Amino acid sequence: MARPLHFSAFVMNTASHITHGLWRDPAGDQVRFNELDLWIDLAKRLEAGGFDAIFFADVVGVYGDYRGGWDFHAELGLQIPSNDPLVILSALAASTEHLGLAFTAGPIQQPPYNFARQVATLDHASNGRIAWNIVTSALSNGWRNFGHDDLRAHDDRYALADEYLDVLYKLWEGSWDDDALEQDRATGRHADPSKIHAIDHVSEHWRVKGPFLVAPSPQRTPLLFQAGSSKVGRDFAARHAEAQFIVSPDPDNARTLIEDTRRLGESHGRDRDDIKFFQGLSFVVGSTEEEARRKSDELDEKIDIHGQIAHFGGSLGIDLGAYAPDTPIDVIHTEGGQSGLAWLRESTNGRTPTLEDVVRIRTKGSRIVGTPEQIADGLERWRDAGVDGINVVNATLPGSYQEFIDHVIPVLRERGLARREYVPGTLRRKLSGRDRLPDSHPAARYRGAFRPQSVATG
Domain of 92: which CATH number?
3.20.20.30
Q: How much is the pLDDT for 457?
A: 37
Is position 1 within any domain?
no
Mean pLDDT per block of 10 residues along the chain (458 residues) reads 91 97 96 98 98 98 95 97 98 98 98 98 98 96 96 95 98 98 98 98 98 98 92 94 94 95 96 96 98 97 91 86 78 51 58 74 85 98 98 97 98 98 97 97 98 56
Host domain of residue 322? 6-446
Cβ 283 vs Cβ 5: under 8 Å: no
Burial of 329 (0-12, 13-18, 19+ CB in 10 A): buried
Give CA separation, 94 vs 116, 182, 217, in Å. Answer: 20, 26, 16
Q: How much is the pLDDT for 324?
A: 78
The answer to whether the bond into 81 is cis (omega within 30° of 0) is yes
Is position 89 within any domain?
yes
Backbone φ, ψ for residue 218 (5° rounding): -55, -35
Is position 173 within any domain?
yes
Is position 453 within any domain?
no
Q: How many domains does the chain have?
A: 1
Q: How much is the pLDDT for 349?
A: 62
Is position 100 within any domain?
yes
Distance between terminal CA atoms of the chain? 60
Among 209, 222, 36, which residue's Cα sits nearest to residue 118?
A: 222
Cβ-Cβ contacts under 8 Å for 104 (sequence gap 6 or more): 56, 57, 58, 85, 132, 133, 135
pTM over 0.75: yes
Backbone φ, ψ for residue 209 (5° rounding): -75, -50
Is position 191 within any domain?
yes
Is position 227 within any domain?
yes
Is position 422 within any domain?
yes
Q: What is the dihedral of CA 105, 107, 109, 114, to 10 degrees?
A: 90
Tell me the chain's radius of gyration from C-alpha atoms. 22
